[in-house]
C-alpha cells in the first residue's frame, strides 16, 4: 500500500517560504495568485492488513513524527 501525506503550515503560523514564493509568483505577472503555502509531501510504502489499519498507522506516524502539531497540519490518502 502507499500513503501520500501532505504536511502544511498551520493557519496563523508564519509561513515565510509561502510568502516568498507568493511574492515571486506575483512578480512573474501571473494574475490570480492570492495565497501560497509551502509544505512537505511524503510518500510511505507500507504493509498493512487493511485500509483502516493502514490509515491508523499513518495517523500515528504523522502525530508522532511526520508533522509537528504545534505548527503543522496534515492530511493523507492511502491506496493499494
Partner 1 sequence: MKWGVVRFPGSLDDLDALHALRDLLKQDAELLWHKDPSLHGAECVVLPGGFSYGDYLRCGAIARFAPIMQSVAEFAADGGLVIGICNGFQILCEAHLLPGALTRNRSLSFICDNIYVRIENAATPFTRAGRLGEILRLPIKHGEGCYAAPVNELAAMEERGQVLLRYVDAEGRETDEANPNGSMRAIAGVANARFNVFGLMPHPEHAVEKLLGGEDGLKIFHSIIGAAS
Chain residues in the site for partner 1 (CB under 8 A): 9, 12-14, 16-17, 20, 65-66, 68, 70-71
Cβ-based nearer residue to partner 1, 2 or 68: 68
**Whether the Cβ atoms of residue 37 and residue 9 lie closer than 8 Å to each other:** yes
Which of 13/52 has CB closer to partner 1? 13
CA distance 41 to 72: 13
Non-local CB neighbours of 80 within 8 Å, separated by 6+ positions: 1, 2, 51
Q: Quote the least distance from Cβ 39 to partner 1, whole Å.
A: 12
CB nearer to partner 1: give 21 or 33: 21
Amino acid at each position: 500500500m502507499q500513503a501520500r501525506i501532505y504536511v502544511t503550515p498551520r493557519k496563523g503560523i508564519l509561513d515565510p517560504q509561502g510568502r516568498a514564493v507568493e511574492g515571486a509568483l506575483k512578480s512573474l505577472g501571473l494574475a490570480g495568485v492570492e495565497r501560497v503555502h509551502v509544505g512537505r509531501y511524503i510518500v510511505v510504502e507500507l504493509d498493512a492488513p487493511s485500509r483502516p489499519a493502514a490509515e491508523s498507522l499513518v495517523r500515528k506516524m504523522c502525530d508522532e513524527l511526520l508533522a509537528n502539531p504545534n505548527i503543522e497540519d496534515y492530511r493523507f490518502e492511502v491506496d493499494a
